[in-house]
A and B are shown apart, each in its own frame.
Chain A
Amino acid sequence: MKETATVGTAAAYVPVDADFKLKDNAGDITIDTNFASQSFWKDVFIRYFRKTSAVIGLILIILISIMAVVGPGMNDYTYSGQELSQKNFAPRVKWLEKFGIMDGSETMKTTTGSMEINYYKDKGLDDLYYWFGSDNFGRDIWTRTWSGARVSLIIAIAAAIIDMLIGMSYGLISGYFGGKVDMIMQRILEIANGIPRLVIVTLLLLILQPGMLTIIFALMLTEWVGMSRIARAEMLKLKEQEFVLASRTLGAGSFFIIFKEVLPNIIGPIITQVMFSIPTAIFTEAFLSFVGLGIPVPQCSLGSLISEGFNSFTTHPYQIIPPISNE
C-alpha cells in the first residue's frame, strides 16, 4: 500500500531547472583519489618485495657476491697453495664439530664394506680446519670456491654487458632502420652465427693467451646473437605503432626513438634473455677451460672446480657440492 503511494507521488514530481545542473562542478571534481599517483620505482619496489621467491633469490645473489669479495681472505689459505700431505680432507668447522657434523670425518665405501675415517685425527692435526675440505692437491676448497665464484661472476657480468651493448643495440638498429641496413646486418649476423664455436675458439688459441680476456673475447664473437634476434623482433613489432609515429611527427631523432621510446617497452623480454645468456656464458667458460682457453691453472672458476670435483665425486662428494650450489 505504502509503496504504491510513493510511486504515485514520484510520478507527480515536476522537474525544475536545478535538477539538470551538475553538482559540485568545482575544481575538486577533477581530483580523484582512486589512483594515488605512484612513482615507477616505488611501484617496482612494492611488487618485488611482495614476492617471496624473488626476495630469497635477491638475498642469495647478494650473499654470494659478498662472499666472492671477502670469502678468499677469510682464512690463511690461498687458492693455489698446495699441501700434498693434506689432500682430500673432509670439511671441518670449529663450532659445528661439537654437534657431530662437519667434524672432518667421512665415510669411505669400498667393495668390502664401509669405514669412517678422519684424516685430521689420524694425522694429529687438531688445529687444522678446512671449512669446505681440501681437494686432490691439498688446496682449500673454501678459498677456491669463492675465488672461482669471483671469476664466474665477472664472466656473468661481462656476458650481460655484451648482450646489452652489442646484441641489443645491433638488433634494435637493424630492426628500426630496416631495408638494406637490416639486410646487410642480418647477413653479417648469420655468418657470425654459422661458424661453429669450436672452430673460432681453436683459431683464437693461435693468437691469444688463455685467460679472462680471451673468454670475454670469445663471448663477444657469438654470445649476442640470440639477444639481437629478440631485440629486432620486438622492434619490428613496435616501430609501426602510433606512439612511435607521434614521436617522429614531433621531430624526434632515430636514436631518441630507439632508446627512449621503444626500449622501455621491450625491457621485459630483454631482461629475460639476459638471464638466459648468463648460465650459457658460464658454461661456455667451462668449455673453454676444457679446450685450454679458459682460466689457466692454478686459477679456478666454478666450472673448472666442478669438473675437478667430478673426478672424485663418488669418493669425496664434498669437493663438488660447494661449487655446484654456488652455480
Chain B
Amino acid sequence: MAANYNAAPILTIEGLKQYFKVSKNYTVKAVDNVSFKIYPGETYGLVGESGSGKSTIGRSVIRLYDPTEGKILFNGMDISKKISKADNNRLRTQMQMIFQDPMASLNPRKKVEDIIGEGLDIHHMYKTRAERKQKIEAILAKVGLAPEHASRYPHQFSGGQRQRVGIARALIMNPKLIIADECISALDVSIQAQVVNLMKDIQEETGAAYLFIAHDLSMVKYISDRIGVLHLGHLLETGTTEEIFENPVHPYTRSLLSAIPSPNPILEKNRTAETYDYKSSGLDYNKGTDHLVSGTHYVKCTDEEFERFLKR
C-alpha cells in the first residue's frame, strides 16, 4: 500500500514546542515551533544532527513527554493536552514506537513472548492463552523469527534479531503510526539493510505510516517518501525526498547533503562539503516563516533570506 495523500493526515503537528526547564532562568528549547503532517501509509523521515530535537519530537508525539505548547492531532483526536482514558487506550494501541538500542529496549528478565505479548496483556486483546500464543507466533513469523524463539530471553539473540523483536512488539498492536526512533543506528550496516527492508515490507502489507527518525541520510533517502530537516529544534525544510535531494534550498540542508559520500570515486574526488555555522550565517530561525518553493517543498526563513537562498 503506497502513501495516500488524498486521505486525511494520520498525524498533524502544529506549532509543537517542547521546552525543558533546567533551572529558574535557563530553559532548553529542544523543539521550537515545528509543524508537519504524516499521511496514512507514508514514511516521513526526520533528519538532523545530534541534539537537533529529532528524538524529542518522537517522544512528544507518543506522549512520553508533555508538550509545552502546540497541537498534536492523531487520527482525529487531540493528544497534546491531557488525554481521556479511552483516547489514551486508542493512542497506546494505534501508535507504537521502535526504540534505538535493541539491547536496552527489551527487558532482560522477560521472555520474548512476554515482551511481545505485553501490549496484548495490558489491553486484554485476547480471550484464551492459545489465542495469545497464536498471535505471538504469527507476528514472530512476520518479522522473520521462529516460533521457538518465543521462549527465549533477549540476551540469547543477536542485535538484528533483538531489533526484530522490538519491531514485533510494535506490530502486534496493529498500529496506524510507528515512530522509529533511530531504530537502525545501533545496528551493523549489513543488518541495517535487513531491518529497513523488513520495515518496508511490513509497511506494504499493513499500510502503517512511519515517522522515521535517523541521522543516516542515505538510509532516510532510501526509505522515506517525505523528509523534514531539523536543526536546533526548528524544522528548516520539508518536502518529498526528490525535492529535498534534488533542490536543497536552505544552506543547512545543502551542507548536510553535501556531506554524503559518493560511491563513484571520480565524483567523490571533486565533492566539496559545504560548511555551515548557525552563529556566523547571520540567520535567525526564530524570525523565519514557511515559504513555498514548489509542490510540497517548504523552507523556513525570512523573506529576504528566501530570495538569497533561491539566487544560489
Contact = CB atoms under 8 A, between A and B. Distances in A.
A249 B111 CA distance: 19
Given A250-B118, A251-B122, A261-B107, A242 B99 contact: yes
Given A30-B146, A31-B146, A37-B151, A251 B109 contact: no
Interface in A228-249: 241-243, 245-249
A186 B119 CA distance: 33
B105 interface: yes
A249 B96 contact: yes
Q: Which of A31, A250, A261 has the most CB of B within 10 A?
A: A250
Interface stretch (B9-17, B27-35, B87-95, B257-265): B87-95
A247 B144 CA distance: 23
Contacts of B111: 40
B208 to A, nearest CB: 15
Contacts of A249: 62, 64, 92, 95-97
Nearest to B107: A243
B20 to A, nearest CB: 14
A251 B104 contact: no
Interface in A48-93: none
A39 B151 CA distance: 8
B64 A251 contact: no
A35 interface: yes
A201 B91 CA distance: 53
Contacts, number: 70
B101 interface: yes
Nearest to A43: B153
Chain A interface, >50% SS class: helix
A20 to B, nearest CB: 16
A264 interface: yes
Interface in B144-185: 144-146, 148-149, 151-152, 156, 166, 169, 173
B97 A37 contact: no
Contacts of B122: 250-253, 256
B123 interface: yes
B107 A251 contact: no
A265 interface: yes
Contacts of B301: none
A265 B107 contact: yes
Contacts of B91: 251
A242 B62 CA distance: 14
B288 to A, nearest CB: 32
Contact of B148 (A37, A246, A252, A264): A37
Given A37-B151, A241-B104, A248 B119 contact: no
B108 interface: yes
Given A246-B169, A248-B64, A265 B145 contact: no
Nearest to B147: A30
A125 to B, nearest CB: 61
Contacts of B106: 243, 246
A247 B92 CA distance: 10
Given A249-B64, A249-B92, A35 B107 contact: no
Contacts of B88: 251
Given A256-B122, A261-B107, A246 B92 contact: no
A242 B156 contact: no
Given A261-B107, A265-B109, A242 B148 contact: no
A248 B111 CA distance: 18
Contacts of A35: 152, 156
- In this complex, the member of B91, B95, B146 whose beta carbon has the largest number of chain A beta carbons within 10 angstroms is B146
9 contacts: A30-B149, A37-B148, A37-B152, A241-B104, A242-B100, A249-B96, A250-B122, A251-B93, A265-B108
Interface of A: 30-31, 35, 37, 39-40, 241-243, 245-253, 256, 261, 264-265
Interface of B: 59, 62, 64, 88-89, 91-93, 95-97, 99-101, 104-111, 118-119, 122-123, 144-146, 148-149, 151-152, 156, 166, 169, 173
Given A37-B148, A242-B99, 19 more contacts: A30-B144, A30-B146, A30-B149, A40-B111, A242-B104, A243-B106, A245-B64, A246-B99, A246-B105, A248-B64, A249-B92, A250-B122, A250-B173, A251-B88, A251-B89, A251-B93, A251-B119, A264-B107, A264-B109
Nearest 8 A-B pairs (CB), nearest first? A251-B92, A30-B146, A242-B105, A264-B109, A37-B151, A242-B104, A243-B107, A250-B119
